[in-house]
Amino acid sequence: MLNFIVRRIIFAIITLLAVSAVVFAIFSLLPFDPAALTCGQRCTDQIIEGNRIKLGFDKPIYIQYWLFLTGIFLGRSYGEGAAAFTCPAPSFGYSFNENECVTNLLTEALPVTVNLALGALIIWLVAGVSLGVIAARFRGRWADTTSSVFVLLGTSLPTFVTGLALLIWVTIKWKLVPLSVIGYTPFLENPVKFLQFFILPWITLAIAYAALYTRFTRAAVLEILGEDYIRTARAKGVKERAVLLKHTMRAVFAPIITLAGLDFAGLIGGAIITETIFNLPGLGRLTLRSVTEFDLSIVLATTILAASVVIIMNLIVDMLYAVLDPRVRV
């Protein structure tokens, strides 16, 4: 098991380096002058050249990439003399549009997106897996039909429709959640305000994902219930509850963990539509704003961060797979 984990960690590190190098190269080859994007309409050639030197854009691309990597671990200094400033490690660059180190912006936005993704993940896993198991257990009956209707609605409605409907009805018409709850509040500071802030975004994302997990779980459970070892367990007199929970669900959880890990990683990259609808100051909205403002430093950082989360989640999923199925370790 230890050798398996070490191999996966080494592979993840190599993949992270490769992804960061490719993303950095792509942004360096864009038909924009990054130095020209660091000042407003009154930019002069002298200011552009000064910013180019200050940010290191005058150096070859491989040196820029090396400075970017070392900045993540050691921090990075910009400028010289009295105008010099430092972005401490981990440094992902400096944003002239925001006049702030990119890491500070990520630090403010990341907790919002993580809480959004984590809460939605818990809801859609509990709802989707439970409905899928119930639908498979009572195949062809009213519970199965009801779950099929939920799957149809959940997969058909875009998140912006679901989010706007919840916002209009729950917040404005029924006033169940106060509209005045604006701004991120950590759970430990005010649990009630935290839940009011996230409950509708959680439900918006969970509806779409729970529908997919309901359909997947139902199909997986029905397939496994037809396997020979399930029939053998029943023939030996094993209770149906034990057949379902001990034998069937353990086999179902392996692919569900894979899907959940990848979906969670995708949301960490930023649920742009949901964050925009509910005015959440997360990574998705930060990325969208930086794209519209051509703030390449933030776009580069969020892209690499999203790719890193996907790779890390794949590593975690591989480890969980090895726990659930020892054959994976070979």
DSSP strand pairing (76-78 vs 100-101): unpaired
User: Strand, helix or coil at 58?
Assistant: coil
What 8-state DSSP symbol labels residue 88? Answer: P
pLDDT the model gives residue 243 = 83
Work out the pLDDT band at 49, boundaries 50, 70, 90.
confident
- 127: nearest Cα among 256, 275, 273, 258: 256
**281 near 292, Cβ under 8 Å?**
no
pLDDT the model gives residue 323 = 74
pLDDT tens for each residue of 227-255: 888 888 888 888 878 888 778 888 888 88
pLDDT the model gives residue 172 = 84
Residue showing tokens 């390449």: 296
> What is the maximum span of the chain, computed from C-alpha positions, in angstroms?
84
pLDDT the model gives residue 326 = 65
pLDDT tens for each residue of 162-187: 999 998 899 888 888 877 555 678 88
**68 near 25, Cβ under 8 Å?**
no
What is the mean predicted confidence (pLDDT) over 25-35? Answer: 81
At position 316, the amino acid (one-letter code) is I
Least confident interval from 126-130, 266-270, 275-279, 299-303: 266-270
**pLDDT higher than 70, residue 329:** no
Work out the pLDDT band at 128, boundaries 50, 70, 90.
very high
Token representation of residue 59: 């150096």
Domain extents in the chain: 2-101, 103-329
What 8-state DSSP symbol labels residue 167? Answer: I
In CATH terms, is domain 103-329 a member of 1.20.210.10? no
**pLDDT higher than 80, residue 2:** no
pLDDT the model gives residue 198 = 92
pLDDT the model gives residue 321 = 76
Token representation of residue 307: 């790719």
Distance CA 112, CA 67 (A): 29
Work out the pLDDT band at 327, boundaries 50, 70, 90.
low
What is the mean predicted confidence (pLDDT) over 182-199? Answer: 84
Length of the chain as a residue count: 330
What is the mean predicted confidence (pLDDT) over 300-304? Answer: 87
What 8-state DSSP symbol labels residue 329? Answer: G
Work out the pLDDT band at 40, boundaries 50, 70, 90.
low
Work out the pLDDT band at 315, boundaries 50, 70, 90.
confident
Q: Which range scores top for mean pLDDT: 39-48, 93-102, 110-119?
A: 110-119
Q: CA-CA-CA-CA torsion for 56, 57, 58, 59, nearest 10 degrees? A: 70
| Ramachandran class of 40: left when φ > 0, alpha when ψ lies in -120 to 50, beta otherwise | beta
Please give the mean pLDDT across all residues of the chain.
Answer: 86
What 8-state DSSP symbol labels residue 243? Answer: I
pLDDT the model gives residue 182 = 57
pLDDT the model gives residue 149 = 93
DSSP strand pairing (85-87 vs 100-101): unpaired
What is the mean predicted confidence (pLDDT) over 256-282? Answer: 85
Query: What percentage of the chain's residues is helix, strand, coil (to nearest 5)?
Result: 75, 5, 25
Alpha-carbon Rg for the chain in angstroms: 24
